[in-house]
Amino acid sequence: MLSWKENGTPVSEEFDDIYFSPEDGLSETKHVFVEGNKLRERWKNPEKKRYFSVLELGFGTGLNFFATWKEYADEERDFELHYVSVEKFPIKKEEIEKAVSVFPELGPFLSEFVLVYRNLLPGINRFTFADGKVRFSLFYADAADALDEISGTFDVIYLDGFAPSKNPEMWSETLLRKLGPVSRNGTTFATFTVARSVRDSMTSAGFIPEKKPGFGRKREMLTGTFAPNGETDADVDPSSSPDKKPWCRRDSLPTKAHNVAIVGAGIAGSALAYSLAQRGISVVLLDPNGIAGGASGIPGAVSHPHPTKYPSPISLFTLRAFAYAVRFLTGFASPEQFSPVGVFHGVTEEMDSERLRNSIRTHSLTEGIAFWSETGVPQTHPDRVSPTQEGVFYPEGFWSQPGSLAQKAVQRNGIRFLREKAASIKPEDQGWELTLSESDEKVHANSVIFCNSYSINELLYPILGEEFLPIRKVRGQLIRLREPPASPTIRNILCAEHYLTPSIDGAHILGSTFDEFDLNPKPRKEDTDRLLAYVLEKYPAMNWSEQNVVSEVVGFRAQTPDRFPVIGPVFDPKRFRKEYSGIDLHKNRDKTYPSLKTIPGLYVFGGLGSRGIIGSFLGAEILASLILDEPAPVEKSLLEALHPGRFLYRKIRKVSETEKLSYETDKNLER
């Protein structure tokens, strides 16, 4: 909660402390954080870096972010700004506007920000500004928890919590020591306080603190530099790790890529090509079927979050991916390509009332994201109706045209599309050589990313000597329906066992079936009949029949056994088994495990299943961050859940469980 002093200075009622100096908050920010970290000097000599990263503890009104953004934008920069801010008590958009609007020079940045700042989720919320030059992540969480989950390292740290006397947890030694793992040699920090406890804690975290003149009535402030090779408790042996999943460590990945080849030009490959090209990476995109020639070419797709009864990696990923997709598409797509008309998900046998209600409560979702409706007519959206009686309404649920979105994405400068099939891939000195099947041309790339759906294993098999991922092909069929006369108008998307859209290009879309066994690429009459029977039973007033069917469309999804995407690097399966077999055995409890190197420059991005649209845009940001060593746009635990190595681990874990049982039996016999 906020209150305001007579001079307009915002005050936190939670901590009984001001957000910034009543004398001149903007000048204070520039003095403490911009000048305290020598940003102007460092940005004139950016050391040929692709990006500059800032970590902030205490977002508050966003003043530090806007001031840093303005400083960055004052000159033409050849690097990006990545800014991650942690905030346990985020304030409302209107309060940010009121607080920051007293500084007119920040107006343009504030205006762009408030267009998309809404519906925050607990955890990381990713925003992109200035055509990708500024990437901002607001980590809505307690600072101690956030620092455990942040993946990546930073050039600069802003310590801007409320005063240590008001908010001691933010300045505890336990918390500040967590800054070491997210810092690198030369990382600097700045803060307004010179409290002895803060100086000692920063020293124990691996920093060398130094007092500097403070701002205004504050005589001193504190700055410092990370010195990981010094005699501190922050020293870490990078060659080994006590982590249970050491293969997920970011420092085992290559960090340089100048040109990339992407195999597969569906919505995932096209979104990734866009994200990389936006960062200045040269991309060659390959697909013999053209842009969105497979399942991404369907006439319309429906997207909404998929919160489970209790938080899980799947639900947390879909919530973050959905929110990012809405923000991205709002600025990227035309009304013909994307429309957030809202999705009403009615109660079904599988998704009963208790499960749907609990999904809202346990994920702490605001009404802007999801809310329960008893009548099917959301009071806050009277223009949108549903014939179902009760369910969840997702106000920003949307339909989109994935084929059109993919086409627009690959028009970005820096992307070269070849309607070719990669016949083979082999390593070379600077990366990989791809041989094309229809021409004599060779494609050379530092990195190759496999986005070719259920065919990912085809090109990887000759390199690895075995199947890398358990991805299977799943058939789906949908139909397009012409609206009969005197039929009720559908304004939002209706979901239950199947989904029904408002009119898109003159027809409603009714879908989709799900078949893992019959992979017939042609439409099946029994599927069309099944869909028509469903819509007649569910929405009888609409009176649709076979005569209203405009077309039938078949597509094939790529799905993993756990129905979760795979996003990340490729390992040599044989070396993986050799290094990590027995990792869970009791006799290895205190052993550290090597951080196994990945195969340099090979990545996979697939297994998106029926959530290809919402998974593609955030998934592209995730993989771009891994390839280019940027701070990740999702939590470390989500990166681990998405990691392709999880399937290799599960295979050896089965062996470990057998060995573990044998080991325990032997011990019992010895007793």
Q: Are 171 and 648 spatial neighbours (Cβ–Cβ below 8 Å)?
A: no
**Tokens representing 381?**
């959206």
Give 54-76 pLDDT, tens digit per residue.
Answer: 999 999 999 999 999 999 999 99
**What are residue 251's phi and psi, to 5 degrees?**
-75, 0
As a residue count, the chain comes to: 671
CA pair distance 632, 137, nearest whole angstrom:
9
The SS3 call for residue 137 is strand
Residue located via tokens 């005569």: 547
Beta bridge partners of 55: 84, 157
Indicate if the pLDDT at residue 118 is higher than 60. Answer: yes
Indicate if the pLDDT at residue 669 is higher than 60. Answer: no
Q: Are 481 and 505 spatial neighbours (Cβ–Cβ below 8 Å)?
A: no
Indicate if the pLDDT at residue 395 is higher than 70. Answer: yes
Write down the pLDDT at residue 592: 67
Indicate if the pLDDT at residue 493 is higher than 90. Answer: yes
Write down the pLDDT at residue 297: 81
Cβ-in-10-Å burial (0-12, 13-18, 19+) of 590 comes to: exposed
Q: What angle do CA 117, 274, 640 make, to 5 degrees?
A: 70
Give first-to-last CA distance, the chain, whole Å.
62
Q: Sheet harboring 422-428: ordered strands across?
A: 422-428, 431-436, 442-445
Give 274-330 pLDDT, tens digit per residue.
Answer: 999 999 999 999 999 999 988 788 888 999 999 988 999 999 999 999 999 999 999
Stretch 575-585: mean pLDDT, rounded?
80
187-201, 469-483, 540-554, 620-634: range with lowest mean pLDDT: 540-554
Exposed e or buried b for every residue in 74-105, given b needs 16+ CB within 10 A? eeeeebbbbbbbbbbebbebebbbbbbeebee
Indicate if the pLDDT at residue 483 is higher than 60. Answer: yes
**Confidence class for position 491, pLDDT limits 50, 70, 90:** confident
Q: Are 531 and 513 spatial neighbours (Cβ–Cβ below 8 Å)?
A: yes
The letter for the amino acid at 176 is L
Residues 6+ apart with CB under 8 A from 579: 593, 594, 596
Indicate if the pLDDT at residue 16 is higher than 50. Answer: no
Most confident option among 1-10, 16-25, 249-258, 624-633: 624-633
Indicate if the pLDDT at residue 234 is higher than 90. Answer: no
Nearest by Cα to 451 from 633, 583, 627, 191:
627
**DSSP classification of residue 143:** H
Provide the 10 A C-beta neighbour count for residue 538: 16
**DSSP sequence for 412-469:** STTEEEE---EEEEEEETTEEEEEESSSS-EEEESEEEE--GGGHHHHHHHHHSS---
125-129, 161-165, 361-365: range with lowest mean pLDDT: 161-165
* Alpha-carbon distance values, 117 to 17, 203, 323, 324, 327 (Å): 24, 36, 11, 11, 9
Indicate if the pLDDT at residue 585 is higher than 70. Answer: no
**Tokens representing 250?**
């970011």
**Tokens representing 246?**
């050491």
Query: For all residues of the chain together, what is the average pLDDT?
Result: 86
Write down the pLDDT at residue 584: 64
Radius of gyration of the chain (CA): 26
Decide the pairing of beta strands 447-450 and 259-263. parallel
Give 401-427 pLDDT, tens digit per residue.
Answer: 999 999 999 999 999 999 999 999 999
The more confident residue out of 443 and 595 is 443
CA pair distance 610, 594, nearest whole angstrom:
36
Q: Are 187 and 54 spatial neighbours (Cβ–Cβ below 8 Å)?
A: no
Write down the pLDDT at residue 146: 96
**Confidence class for position 659, pLDDT limits 50, 70, 90:** very low
**Confidence class for position 222, pLDDT limits 50, 70, 90:** very high
> Which domains does the chain show, CATH number per domain?
2-226 (3.40.50.150), 257-293+404-471+562-578+593-659 (3.50.50.60), 331-399+472-558 (3.30.9.10)
